[in-house]
Amino acid sequence: MSILIDKKTKLIVQGITGREGEFHARQMIEYGTQVVGGMTPGRGGETALGVPVFDTMEQAVAKTGANASVIYVPARGAADAILEAADAGIALVVCITEGVPVVDMMRVARRLAETGTRLIGPNCPGLISPGKSKVGIIPGNICKPGPVGLVSRSGTLTYEVIHALSQRKIGQSTCVGIGGDPVHGLGYIETLELFDADPQTKIIALIGEIGGTDEEKAAEYIKKKMTKPVVAFVAGQTAPPGKRMGHAGAIIEGGTGTAAEKIAAFKRAGVPVARFPGEVAELIAAKLATKSKSRSVAKKKK
Amino acid sequence: MKLHEYQSKAIFAKYGIPIPKGTIAENAEAARQVASQLGKKVVIKSQVLVGGRGKAGGIKVAATPDDAETIADQILGMTIKGLPVRKVLVDEAINIAREIYLGVVVDRATRRATMMGSAAGGVEIEEVARVSPEKIIRVAIDPAFGLQDYQARELAFAIGIDKANVREFTAIATGLYRAFVDVDASLAEINPLVVTGEGKLIAADGKIVLDDNALYRHLDLEQLRDVDEESSEEQQARKAGLSYVKLDGNIGCMVNGAGLAMATMDVIKFYGGEPANFLDIGGGAKADKVKIALEIILSDPNVKAVLFNIFGGITRGDEVARGIVEGLKGVKTNVPMVARIVGTNAEEGRKILANANMLTAETLEEGAQKAVAAARGQV
């Protein structure tokens, strides 16, 4: 198993004829993702990378039965692309685009609450279920299948942690980049809930960063509801207040959103916090080792 | 991007929000003229993009045009929290009976714009939130319908607005929300919203922060950008499409990705060093971007070592290395460079970098330790 995407995921690439869209569509196809079509207004009837291109998402869904889409269109068209996918009945929309205005995203969030569409992003690397499917831009070659569920607000920092895990021969069930914008779709809590219910996932790595209070809320959720262990890392311990650190959402405002507060919240919830990204893999290796030990002890007792 | 008080108030006025009569002045003589035209007591207000102007002595009352000239001359020579005062706003003085706070922010948790009101106006809302959060009343706004009159009234009654002013307050609140949406703000606030001795409401001060991601559709507002808001390096970085924040340490950082850039700074600190900056060069490491980024980093005289941390991912490691070496060619420096790259062919990449006299590392921890040592002269 895995969460959100697997071999059955049928994907439309919105913006497949653009430079980014085409490059990553090719990567996804090579990885084994079922890309069933692309969409670019005005390019309907053409073929790109061996799949049909449609003018509208409605046509794309009607012709292919797609249940997911990934968006590589420029920021000014991204909100429109999300809404079009949602209205066409797509269940999972992944928006890679960075720089979407927050006023647009508030409208999108409002609309998606009505359609029930699940959105990942924007300003995110997408997600990957190693060995099954990838939707987005996470490099497939650094991932391997296994027991770790990963959820993160960042892109390359996520790759860093995946890489550290894979180097220790620890694989991943699904890695989800939820995005670095202040208003985004899927959050930590929904992702944790999915991981907790997923049989393949044995342990979760949560990668946070400064800004907002999502990590604090996740810590509370972990303490109250999670049955599986979680290990965390929070980036931005050295970030100054009032400065946006690259991501639109990574800013300490009015004294809230500091790394220190988030780390304290995780510690209160009994979640071990890595001091640097590589240590996430160390902590997870240690947890998995004690788990398998206790399991073999339990077996012996029988 | 932040707007000045006078720019924010001009926008508010377009949405029917009453503001004091006043004009901007760039020299003492102009301030005198404005004061004499207004023909009454005025307030001279420094226009700098920081809070705490009043406490710093950047806001003063002038009784006569002569006073206005003297005070403007004094304020225009000031530097407040590192920012030079280049303009003053000369506003008619108003008779303050009561000060209220009214603002619209993006609430990340509810994914909605939220209007906040408080009877405790005139002080920073962050301070109110810290000391007496119960004094802040919040109303979440549905983006499909906008702020409704009844919501504004609820807010008015909750913060104790006089019945006679409720209609006026409602018009101001709905105007503020419309302004927030129309200019694509991430913050729009009136602090204080003054109830005058004559029983009228007036926006005595205003602040708007624009969403940088939406500036493409507000080219007129982008022209209002104050050059002093950013350092010249930050400006150069923004124009080159790089995210850069200057810090106080001595180890320059060049990283692809914002989260990884923050983590790189944290690891430097963990090994006893201090990062000199945050810098995200974006995807891959193209020679032209590396060159600009390096020039920006090295323009800081504190920098004693530079750490490159590039996670290639899909980009090949040797390609990244060639980009770095190519970018380095155009920059003359003796500062030691440490590079840590990951990606297919990373080993080949490290060879290329070593041949270009760079120190190399396989892991981020190793790279940070080498950079810390290099900054201490222990190469």
What phi and psi, each to the nearest 5 degrees, are found at residue B361?
Answer: -145, 150
Distance from CA of A23 to the nearest CA of B (A): 10
Question: Which residues of A, range 131-150, sit inside 8 Å of B by Cβ?
Answer: 137-139, 141-142
| Averaged pLDDT for residues A42-48 | 97
Task: Tell whether the model's pLDDT for residue A194 goes beyond 50.
Answer: yes
* pLDDT over 70, % of chain A: 97
Q: Which residues contact A221 (CB under 8 A, 6 or more apart)?
A: A188, A189, A192
Distance from CA of A295 to the nearest CA of B (A): 33
Distance from CA of B113 to the nearest CA of A (A): 8
What phi and psi, each to the nearest 5 degrees, are found at residue B161?
Answer: -70, 135
**Cis amide bond preceding A241, omega within 30:** no
Chain A contact present for B145, CB below 8 A: no
Question: Which residues of B, range 207-226, sit inside 8 Å of A by Cβ?
Answer: 211-214, 216-217
**Are A239 and B129 a contacting pair at CB < 8 A?**
no
Contact (Cβ atoms closer than 8 angstroms) between residue A89 and residue A61: yes
Q: Does domain B21-92 have CATH number 3.40.50.300?
A: no
In chain B, which residues have their Cβ closer than 8 Å to the Cβ of A109? 111-112
Which 3 state secondary structure label does DSSP give B305? strand
In chain B, which residues have their Cβ closer than 8 Å to the Cβ of A183? 106, 108, 111
Give the per-residue pLDDT at B370.
97
**Are A243 and B364 a contacting pair at CB < 8 A?**
no
Q: Would residue B154 show up in a list of annotated catalytic residues for this protein?
A: no
Quick one: CA torsion of A195, A197, A199, A202, rounded to 10 degrees?
A: 50
What phi and psi, each to the nearest 5 degrees, are found at residue A160?
Answer: -55, -45
In chain B, which residues have their Cβ closer than 8 Å to the Cβ of A254? 125-126, 129
Task: Tell whether the model's pLDDT for residue A173 goes beyond 50.
Answer: yes
Superfamily of domain B96-222, CATH level 4: ATP-grasp fold, B domain (3.30.470.20)
Question: How do residues A208-244 score in pLDDT, each as one tens digit?
Answer: 999 999 999 999 999 999 999 999 999 999 999 989 9
CB pairs < 8 Å spanning A and B: 173
The residues facing A209 across adjacent strands are: A235
Which fold is adopted by the domain B232-375? Rossmann fold (3.40.50)
Q: How far is CA B107 from CA A43, B80, B84, B104, B141, in A?
A: 39, 30, 33, 9, 10
Chain A contact present for B133, CB below 8 A: no
**Are B216 and A75 a contacting pair at CB < 8 A?**
yes
User: 3-state SS of B308-321?
Assistant: EEEECCCCCHHHHH
Distance CA B360, CA B305 (A): 13
Distance from CA of B175 to the nearest CA of A (A): 17
Which 3 state secondary structure label does DSSP give A296? helix
Q: At what angle do helices B166-182 and B149-158 cross, to 10 degrees?
A: 120
DSSP H/E element including A277: helix A277-301
- Token readout for A208 is 């946070």
Task: Tell whether the model's pLDDT for residue A301 goes beyond 80.
Answer: no
ipTM of the complex: 0.93
Domain boundaries, chain B: 21-92, 96-222, 232-375
Tokens 């400065």 sit on residue: A243
Chain B contact present for A278, CB below 8 A: yes
Per run of 10 residues, the mean pLDDT along chain B (length 379 residues) is: 97 98 97 96 96 93 97 95 94 96 95 95 86 92 97 97 96 98 97 97 97 96 89 89 93 95 97 96 80 92 95 80 86 91 86 92 95 91
Best A276, A280, A282 member to test B by mutation, with max B CBs in 10 Å, is A276
Best A31, A150, A157, A243 member to test B by mutation, with max B CBs in 10 Å, is A157
Q: At what angle do helices A277-301 and B364-375 cross, to 10 degrees?
A: 140
| Averaged pLDDT for residues A177-185 | 96
Q: Which residue of B has its CA nearest to A216?
A: B109
Give the per-residue pLDDT at A247.
92
- With cut-offs at 50, 70 and 90, classify the pLDDT of residue A294: low
- With cut-offs at 50, 70 and 90, classify the pLDDT of residue A296: low
What phi and psi, each to the nearest 5 degrees, are found at residue A51?
Answer: -120, 155
Cβ-defined contacts of B33-39 (< 8 Å, 24+): B33/B65, B34/B68, B34/B90, B35/B62, B35/B64, B35/B65, B35/B67, B35/B68, B35/B69, B35/B90, B36/B65, B36/B68, B38/B90, B38/B92
Handedness of CA A212, A275, B307, B231 (dihedral sign): positive
Handedness of CA B334, A240, A274, B320 (dihedral sign): negative
Tokens 């979440």 sit on residue: B140
Contact (Cβ atoms closer than 8 angstroms) between residue B9 and residue B194: no
Distance CA B301, CA B299 (A): 6
Q: Which residue of A has its CA nearest to B218?
A: A101
- With cut-offs at 50, 70 and 90, classify the pLDDT of residue A298: low
Which 3 state secondary structure label does DSSP give A160? helix
Judged on CB neighbours under 10 Å (0-12, 13-18, 19+), B366 is: middle
**Are A210 and B262 a contacting pair at CB < 8 A?**
yes
How many CA within 13 A on the CB side of residue B182?
A: 12
| Averaged pLDDT for residues A153-173 | 96
Q: At what angle do helices A259-268 and A214-225 cross, to 10 degrees?
A: 0
Distance CA B189, CA B202 (A): 13
Q: Which residues contact B226 (CB under 8 A, 6 or more apart)?
A: B2, B4, B49
B245 → closest Cβ in A152, A158, A243: A243
Distance CA A220, CA B262 (A): 24
User: How high does pLDDT run on average in chain A?
Assistant: 95
Contact (Cβ atoms closer than 8 angstroms) between residue A73 and residue A84: no
Chain A contact present for B144, CB below 8 A: yes
What phi and psi, each to the nearest 5 degrees, are found at residue B42?
Answer: -125, 165
- Parallel, antiparallel, or unpaired for β B185-196 and B201-203? antiparallel
